[in-house]
């Protein structure tokens, strides 16, 4: 073989070896890191699942972990064994429970997840059906210090956008509250305090109906086939399966904003009203824009004129004319009491 050919072959071999073995950038190191990261994600997701079971007074075991993580029972058994070796879980018979260290670890992951969802809801325009998947990634990446910085940046919120309590940096968390939506009696008032965001298919239907945490409801029908209620002036009908993902707190009486409070979208030309609140469904940049325009509780607002297609509509707010689309106007609650409308 020609010396040049031998030299080329030797050079290629050296390059291949370097690509494989480089301590920081080599393919073997990348493989090991990917495998390590994958193992850590399984460990952290398992801890979250076990914590969720304990929080909801249910039991976790090999089959529940396998189903939740979408892995085989054999792989779930290996993950549980790893958790046990790390001192994060105790295993008795078929039951897996968290140790104090395991609970602390799980709450740290949950804190990051819920803070990230709150950040996406309040500070970005990311659609709500994507909050959960984004938080699923962030929870395995952000450090405790980064989570604390994020919490401070968004005002140290106590609940995420779905109504779930956010653990504190010390690992403290509020107890679960509320009852299933279907437990409300016909005519009873309630406020949605939690919207379960899994499975995605069910959550998407909840979002499509405009349902959100903080929404006031009045039950009108409960049967084995459907749950019917009034919320923000609209009648909503859900299947019992979808309704089971909603938790409410019963309310003895209606306050200033109830399920029948009119919205700005109900005004007609020339009418005036006073803003009594903004729907919790209006979040992030959209909510800040309304507040920047002066649309806050107590502000007088007047319907001035409509566009050719009746959307948007021009309103007079604090001496200025602003254009709002009907979708925005339907999220602004108003009162006409004490005002004379021509």
Determine the pLDDT at residue 232.
Answer: 79
Q: For residue 20, is it within any domain?
A: no
DSSP for 1-39, written as a single string: --HHHHHHHHHHHHHHHHHHH-TTT-HHHHHHHHHHHHH
Last residue of one domain, picked from the residues 230, 251, 272: 251
Cα–Cα–Cα angle for 201, 203, 204, rounded to 5 degrees: 65
Residues 247 and 274 in one domain: no
Last residue of one domain, picked from the residues 251, 272, 300: 251
Last residue of one domain, picked from the residues 251, 281, 298: 251
Containing structural domain, residue 211: 179-251
CA distance 118 to 166: 9
Q: For residue 117, is it within any domain?
A: no
Residues 241 and 283 in one domain: no
Residues 241 and 275 in one domain: no
Determine the pLDDT at residue 21.
Answer: 45
Q: Note the pLDDT tens digit of each residue in 132-189.
A: 999 999 999 999 999 999 999 999 999 999 999 999 999 999 888 889 999 999 989 8
Give the CATH number for residue 315.
2.30.30.90
The domain tally of the chain equals 3
Residues 205 and 239 in one domain: yes
Determine the pLDDT at residue 245.
Answer: 96
Q: For residue 219, is it within any domain?
A: yes
Q: For residue 300, is it within any domain?
A: yes
Backbone φ/ψ region at 320: left (φ over 0), alpha (ψ -120 to 50), beta: beta
Q: For residue 103, is it within any domain?
A: no
Give the CATH number for residue 58.
1.10.10.10
Collect all residues with Cβ–Cβ distance below 8 Å to 78 and sequence separation of at least 6.
none
Determine the pLDDT at residue 181.
Answer: 95
**Token representation of residue 58:** 């249910």
Residues 39 and 76 in one domain: yes
| Partners of 218 in beta bridges | 189, 230
Q: For residue 84, is it within any domain?
A: yes
Determine the pLDDT at residue 34.
Answer: 47
Which of these, 183, 153, 342, 296, lies nearest to 249 by C-alpha position? 183
Which of these, 309, 264, 269, 260, lies nearest to 290 by C-alpha position? 264
In this prediction, the residues of the chain whose per-residue pLDDT falls under 70 are 1-37, 252-259, 337-342
CA dist list (Å): 79 to 71, 85, 138, 158, 245: 10, 10, 21, 32, 29
Which of these, 326, 302, 325, 306, lies nearest to 315 by C-alpha position? 302
Which of these, 196, 198, 136, 137, lies nearest to 161 by C-alpha position? 196
Which of these, 209, 324, 210, lies nearest to 267 by C-alpha position? 324
Q: Is the pTM of this model over 0.75?
A: no
Q: For residue 331, is it within any domain?
A: yes
Q: Which spans in 3-130 are helix H?
A: 3-21, 27-55, 62-69, 73-85, 100-123
Residues 273 and 224 in one domain: no
Q: For residue 51, is it within any domain?
A: yes
């Amino acid at each position: 073989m020609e010396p040049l050919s031998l030299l080329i072959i030797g050079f290629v071999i050296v390059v291949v070896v370097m690509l494989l073995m480089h301590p920081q950038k080599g393919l073997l190191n990348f493989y090991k890191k990917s495998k390590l990261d994958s193992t850590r994600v399984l460990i952290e997701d398992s801890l979250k699942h076990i914590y969720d079971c304990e929080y909801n007074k249910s039991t976790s075991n090999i089959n529940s972990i396998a189903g939740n993580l979408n892995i085989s029972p054999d792989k779930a058994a290996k993950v549980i064994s790893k958790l046990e070796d790390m001192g994060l879980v105790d295993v008795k018979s078929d039951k897996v429970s968290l140790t104090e260290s395991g609970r602390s670890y799980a709450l740290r992951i949950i804190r990051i997840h819920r803070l990230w969802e709150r950040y996406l809801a309040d500070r970005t325009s990311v659609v709500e059906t994507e909050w959960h998947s984004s938080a699923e990634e962030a929870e395995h990446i952000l450090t405790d210090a980064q989570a604390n910085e994020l919490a401070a940046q968004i005002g140290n919120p106590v609940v995420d956008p779905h109504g779930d309590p956010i653990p504190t940096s010390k690992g403290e968390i509020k107890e679960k509250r509320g009852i299933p939506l279907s437990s409300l009696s016909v005519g009873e008032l309630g406020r949605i305090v939690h919207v379960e965001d899994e499975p995605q298919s069910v959550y998407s239907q909840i979002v499509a109906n405009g349902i959100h945490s903080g929404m006031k409801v009045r039950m009108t029908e409960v049967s084995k086939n459907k749950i019917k209620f009034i919320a923000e002036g609209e009648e909503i009908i859900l299947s019992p399966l979808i309704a089971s993902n909603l938790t409410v707190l019963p309310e003895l009486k209606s306050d200033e904003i109830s399920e029948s409070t009119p919205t700005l979208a109900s005004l007609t030309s020339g009418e005036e009203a006073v803003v009594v609140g903004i729907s919790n469904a209006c979040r992030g940049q959209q909510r800040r824009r309304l507040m920047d325009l002066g649309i806050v509780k107590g502000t007088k607002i007047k319907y001035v004129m409509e566009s050719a297609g009746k959307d948007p509509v021009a309103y007079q707010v604090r001496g200025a004319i602003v254009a709002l689309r009907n979708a925005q106007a339907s999220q602004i609650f108003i009162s006409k009491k004490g005002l004379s409308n021509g």
